[in-house]
Chain A
Amino acid sequence: MSRSVMWWLPRGLLLGLFAFFIFGPLVNLVLWSVAESWFWPNRLPSQYGFRFWERVFRPEGQAMESLWLSIWIASLTTLLCLAVSVPAAWALAKANLRWRAAILMLFLLPQAFPNLPVYINIARIFFTFDLNGTVIGVVLVHAAHGLVYSIWIATAAFAAVDDDLELAARNIGASALTAFRTVTLPLAAPGIAASAVFVFLESLDEFTASYFVGAPEVRTLPLLLFSAAAGGNMQVAAITALILLVPSVLFMLIVERFLRAEVLAKVGK
């Protein structure tokens, strides 16, 4: 009897702790989003309502505009990353490049340095090219960041496709391009799709680079969230954060379904 208590008690406590860490902040967000007044020292809001939701989703409210802009920028970033990473990852995985490891490390470099100085410098450079405050500028800086994910994951996805599968197609009459299109690409597609999702989400959530390169002209959802929170408008900040959460959760579910362990095991090999 006592053994069974010893068995479930630590596990139950641990699970409860995890649940609290994950769902505690979420509950707080939801509370804030429906709090019409919540003043210290009250533990809970004194008045509930959807006034701020209505305000955020009002046509002249900036939230929807920012959401669409964020999605537009994330989509462009994803397309740009895919256009670079699919051919690059194929070459890295299949073409027996001599400096393969070095090239893969190169794409990790942007992550190796502190973000702030890097983005301030990028902002300075973009200023001379008139890219500051433009969508293209934000897309470019997001893409530099997203390429890490897309190249590494797509390389792993291509490497996971056995060479013989492509040769089997060549063998019975397919040109190199046809074999790639009909065999290698479809088999690597789930991994590439997962990398695209990562890039999309990273771009959607990205704050620092957007702030230095994009603000104030390009107002993405995270920037809106920041100015709302900085202005003391916790309700709008909470609602914006909840909106940002939707695509993240949605795509994570998709990734979880597509990205198999075998593909992840090839990362960096």
Chain B
Amino acid sequence: MGTSVEVDDLSVSFGRTSVLHGISLSVAAGEFVALLGPSGCGKTTLLRAIAGFVPPSAGRIRAGGQDITRAPPEKRGAAMVFQSYALWPHMTVAKTIGYGLKLRGWNSGRIDAKVEEMLRLLRLEGLGARLPAQLSGGQRQRVALGRALAVDPAILLLDEPMSNLDARVREGVRHELRALQQSLGITAIHVTHDREEAMIMADRIVILQEGRIAQAGTPEDLWARPASAYVADFLGATNRLPVRIQGSQAEASPGEAPLDLAADRSPPPGPATVHFRPEEARILAAGEPLDGLVFRGTVALSAYPGGRWRASIRVGRDDVLVDVPDRLPEGAAVRLGIPSPAAHVFAAP
């Protein structure tokens, strides 16, 4: 069974460079949390601090209520799957998976049985005698996972373990790993820069920005209500268009009805930016009303990525992408509608 992890006001610096600034995070026992952010945001450092590889400059880390801030890596009950897999080139698959068990003083019969069980669980049967160099990328990844899982860790730390797999293999591994984590009831903390991976696998996502938590919540929560332009951008709302805030209303193109914003979501009056996703906007017929923001623009380009058409629409000086069911003729004047729930309005930077 997993244990809870609490990170309390944790700071880490390398020399004079501060990497994490007062991170506080609590992960329930058995929960799957994804740390999401671009490279350099500190997500891997946070994971390595929890693993005990990086000493914090301030703050505390607790596992199952016990303070492990100064504990050496081997006394934390946390097992990590490394991005590089960190498999030992001189050890066979069976030796690698059995390594932690041998340290725990298991006799060889018990180790062999457990290793067999892990090999079956990870679909690596018959590969026990192979060396890492004789395995495919996907198999190496599963061996690294097997080494971590064999010791029955309370906490599983995953450092972008799927970034070296090709896209098709990755799809399958996501679901397998999630199912495995749930059936074993381990607490998992997963570092990734892949939004979709985080959404699919995690109970809760923590988005990091330059060493601070930008927003934390369930995938649905973050998707529907990003708290900042940074989060919206990271969660696929990459289109931006300028709007004006008047009182609690946002105005788009002149002549279109303004959108009433909820009091807690309204930025201060003045220039602002609306963020939205290509698949959530649509093209409106002339005179069609919409509870949302409406912009007038012209079609600059249409492309067919498969399934639906993707149109590039020019609004004033900005270009935005919209997914539409049919091809739009280039140069046509269109009304671009962003429904109220899809329009994320933030003060202009």
Whether B90 pairs with A164 at a CB distance below 8 angstroms is no
B74, A175: Cβ atoms under 8 Å? yes
Docked-complex contact B88 and A172, CB < 8 angstroms: no
Is B74 touching A164 in the complex (CB atoms < 8 A)? no
- Asked if A173 is an interface residue, CB under 8 A from chain B, the answer is yes
| B68 proximity list for chain A (CB < 8 A) | none
Complex: A96 Cα to B84 Cα, angstroms: 22
- A33: shortest Cβ distance to chain B, in Å? 44
Closest chain-B Cβ to A218's Cβ sits at a distance in Å of 40
Q: Is A116 an interface residue (CB 8 A)?
A: no
B311 at the interface (CB under 8 A from A): no
Report yes or no: B74 in contact with A170, Cβ–Cβ below 8 A. yes
Q: Known A173-B103, A187-B89; judge A168-B74 contact (CB<8 A).
A: no
Nearest residue in A to B78 (C-beta to C-beta)? A171
- What's the least CB distance linking A160 to chain B, in Å? 11
CA distance A165 to B53 in the complex (A): 12
CA distance A168 to B84 in the complex (A): 11
> Does B99 belong to the interface (CB within 8 Å)?
yes
What's the count of A-B pairs with C-beta under 8 Å? Answer: 61
The interface residues of chain A lying within 8 Å CB-to-CB of B86 are 162, 164-165, 167-168
Which residue of chain A has the shortest Cβ distance to B51 in the bound complex?
A171
Check: B22 CB closer than 8 A to any chain A CB. no
B148 (CB) vs chain A CBs: closest residue: A172
- Could you mark each residue 168-180 of chain A with 1 if its beta carbon is under 8 Å from any beta carbon of chain B, else 0? 1111111110100
For A, the interface residue count at a CB cutoff of 8 angstroms equals 18
If A162-B84, A186-B90, A187-B90 touch, does A168 touch B147 (CB 8 Å cutoff)? yes
Q: Is the CB of B90 within 8 A of A171?
A: no
| B84 x A164 contact (CB < 8 A) | yes
Contact A172 B82 (CB under 8 A): no
Asked if A80 is at the interface (CB within 8 A of a chain B CB), the reply is: no
Contact A178 B73 (CB under 8 A): no
Q: CA separation between A173 and B76, bound complex, in Å?
A: 9
Mark contacts of B76-103 with chain A using CB atoms, 8 A cut-off: 1 yes-contact digit, 0 otherwise: 0011101010111110000000011001
Residues in chain B near residue A171, CB distance under 8 A: 51, 73-74, 78-80, 148
Q: How long is the Cα–Cα vector from A165 to B82 in the complex, in angstroms?
A: 9
Query: What is the CA–CA distance of A171 and B74 in the complex, to the nearest angstrom?
Result: 5
A183 to B87, CA, bound (A): 10
Bound CA–CA A171/B147 (angstroms): 10
How distant is A163 from chain B, measured CB to nearest CB, in Å? 9
Complex Cα gap A169–B87 (Å): 10
Verify if B138 is at the interface (C-beta below 8 Å from A).
Answer: no
Q: List, in ascending order, chain B residues with CB within 8 A of A169's CB.
A: 88, 99
With both beta carbons as reference points, the residue of chain A lying nearest to B159 in the complex is identified as A164
Q: CB < 8 Å: which of B72, B79, B84 contacts A172?
A: B79
B100 neighbours in A (Cβ, 8 Å): 172-173
Nearest-Cβ distance from residue A257 to partner chain B, whole angstroms: 16
Q: At the interface, yes or no: B151 with Cβ under 8 Å from chain A?
A: yes
Task: Provide the bound-state CA to CA distance between A186 and B103, in Å.
Answer: 17
Q: Is the CB of A170 within 8 A of B104?
A: no
Q: List 7 A-B contacts (CB under 8 A).
A: A164-B82, A168-B87, A169-B99, A170-B53, A173-B151, A187-B89, A187-B90
Known: A171-B78, A172-B74. 11 other contacts (CB 8 A): A167-B80, A170-B74, A171-B79, A171-B80, A172-B150, A172-B151, A172-B153, A173-B104, A176-B72, A187-B88, A187-B89
